[in-house]
Structure formats: C-alpha cells, structure tokens
Amino acid sequence: MFKTRLLSGILLVAAALLTIISGGVILWTVLFCISVIGAGELYRAMGVHKDSFGLMEAAGYLGILLYYGAVALNFGRCGMMAVILSLILLLFVYVFSYPKYDAGQTSAAFFGILYVAVMLSFIYLTRNLEGGQFIVWLIFICSWGCDTCAYCVGMLIGKHKMAPVLSPKKSVEGAVGGVAGAALLGAVYAAATREPVAGYALICAVGALISMVGDLAASAVKRNQGIKDYGKLIPGHGGILDRFDSVIITAPIIYYMAVLLLRR
C-alpha cells in the first residue's frame, strides 16, 4: 500500500508540474476534467447520482461547463452570472421533474458546482495573475506541505486531539507544526524565486490553516454519508476529492491574498 501510494503521489506531482507550468488551455482543460470527476464523486456520495445517470446530475455537469466557459471568457464579468445561471438550471430541473428530485439533491448538485468547480478554478485564475507562474505553487505548498509537516510533528509530539470525533489522529501540536512548516516552506520558496519572503510566508501560514478546515470538512461529509473514500481513481489515495480536499478550499484564499498582499 505504501509503495502504491508513493508511486501514485509521485506521478500526481509530475502531472501537476507539467500541467501548471504549461498553463493556458492545458491547465483549463485539466481543471475542467478534474472538476467534473470530483463533482461526480460528490454527487454519488450525496445521493444526486443513485442507481443511474439522471437529469439533475446532467444539469450539474452543464453548470460546471457554463462556469468554466465564463472563466475562459472573462471571470470578472461572467463568473457570477454563470454561477447564477447554473442555479437557475438546477431549479428548472427540480421544478419541472417534481417530485423526482428533492430539495436536498438540488442543493447538493449546486454545492458540487461551488465546492468543486468554482473553488478549483482558482488554480487557473491564480496562474493567470501577474507573477502567477510562481504564486500558483503556494496553493500546493501550503496544502500538501502543511499536511506532511502536520503528520510528522503529530507523530513525534502530538498529544492533544484537535477534532477527536471527526479525525482522532489529528493533534493540536500537528496543526501548529503544519502551519509553521508551511510558512517556512513558503519563505524558502520565496527566497529561491526572489519573491517577497514575508508575504509568501504569511500567505502559506494562512493557507495552511484554511487547508486543515478543508481536510476536516471533506472527512465530515464522508462520515455523514458513511463512506471511506470518495472514489478509487488515484491508487492509494482514493478519489479526486480525497487528494484535493485541502487544495479546493485553499486555492481561492491564495488567489485573494496574493491580490491583496502582493499587489498583483
């Protein structure tokens, strides 16, 4: 299991490197595909998809396509409009197929668009910022770096449980170590790329703190739905949402903090 997890992790990092360095259409296409797959995982977990492919699920995927089309055209002008149109589309299906779908399924379908597609799109938006070829890596440094540092510190000195019911293995000491480790990694990365050290360290520290919320939130959904993993797409890691749970919630934070603090 460890070898499988390590190998798939290496391949995942390599794919991320190639995709994000390329940027542009390649990054947009990959993120769109990841968003559709991730939304599908969420739809199965939350009962939007049951025995077969349905109209509500199709409307959710169409909403993702509308949103990513808006991102490609002009996020500032069209992004929110696409989100609203997606909601209207879902409500259209809800109303005119009533009572096939309930309010919970409709809400879950819209949640999939927001939680997966909209949040992940900020990787693309961050890459497109001035200096985005450097800034975008902060999303992964603070997410995956925090996870690794928190695990190591927690294993060594972790005693106080951070969320004993939701995630018994996570400790307060590990969380502190994760935030500190992410900040340090951000500072080292800034020095290596000749970017603002203090700004990168602060962004990574805040991003790391937020990433833990994303990790725990994804775990909470799985516990609520009685599943272990969202999928089996990535050997040793689970599904897209299992691997990108912290990245999903971190990406928008990094984008807006970069805009505010780095004046991009």
| DSSP per-residue letters across 6-59 | HHHHHHHHHHHHHHHHH-HHHHHHHHHHHHHHHHHHHHHHTTSS-SS--HHHHH
pLDDT at 11: 77
pLDDT at 139: 94
pLDDT at 6: 57
Which residue in 72, 84, 186, 181 sits closest to 121, CA to CA?
Answer: 72
Task: Tell me the three state secondary structure of residue 122.
Answer: helix
pLDDT at 207: 93
Residue 264 pLDDT greater than 60, yes or no? no
Residue 17 pLDDT greater than 80, yes or no? yes
Find the mean pLDDT for residues 94-112.
Answer: 94
Percent of the chain with pLDDT over 90: 54
What is this structure's pTM? 0.92
Residue 16 and residue 18: Cα distance in Å, rounded?
A: 6
Cβ contact 184:214 at 8 Å: no
Distance of CA 199 to the CA centre of its chain: 22
Residue 237 pLDDT greater than 70, yes or no? no
Cβ contact 255:125 at 8 Å: yes
Residue 234's pLDDT band (boundaries 50, 70, 90)? low
